[in-house]
Amino acid sequence: MTHSFALHIPDAELVPEPLAPGQILAGNPEVTGKVVWESEDGRQVRGIWQITPGVVTDTEADELFVVVSGSATIEVEGGPAFTVGPGDMAVLRAGDRTTWTVHETLRKAYAITL
């Protein structure tokens, strides 16, 4: 395991994580991110993720995230729709099929269990 650390999320430099063309429903959203910690077995991942405005689909992992900036409405197929913004925490279940409508560039810190 790596040493303990702190990171200022708004200033963290991220790298491109291109979306599959089939995920984009509207606009020209661009995704960037950075894994900041991963367990030795690869099952626990912590990181930062950002997406610019647009509408995309995804199949989720078991994830808890906190929004640092921006906003989006997340629709869960067969479940709820909710809007998240700065300071909001959300929990997604593995296998949830979602549609993200990103209103303003959203940056989040996440913890995923695979």
Q: Report yes or no on 3 lying in a domain.
A: no
Cα separations in angstroms, 106 against 31, 84, 89: 10, 9, 13
The answer to the question of residue 20 being in a domain is yes
| Token pair in block for residue 30 | 């661009």
pLDDT band at residue 112 under the 50/70/90 scheme: very high
Tell me the average pLDDT of the chain.
Answer: 97
Residue 1 belongs to a domain: no
Model confidence pLDDT, tens digit, residues 56-97: 999 999 999 999 999 999 999 999 999 999 999 999 999 999
| Helix, strand, coil % over all residues of the chain, rounded to 5 | 5, 60, 35
Domain count, the chain: 1
Residue 32: inside a domain, yes or no?
Answer: yes
Residue 71: domain span: 13-113
Question: Using alpha carbons only, what angle is made at residue 28 by residues 26 and 34, rounded to the nearest 5 degrees?
Answer: 120
Q: Please tell me the predicted confidence (pLDDT) of residue 2.
A: 67
| CA–CA gap between residue 86 and residue 101 (Å, rounded) | 16
Q: Is residue 46 part of a domain?
A: yes
Instruction: Tell me what the mean pLDDT of segment 3-12 comes to.
Output: 95
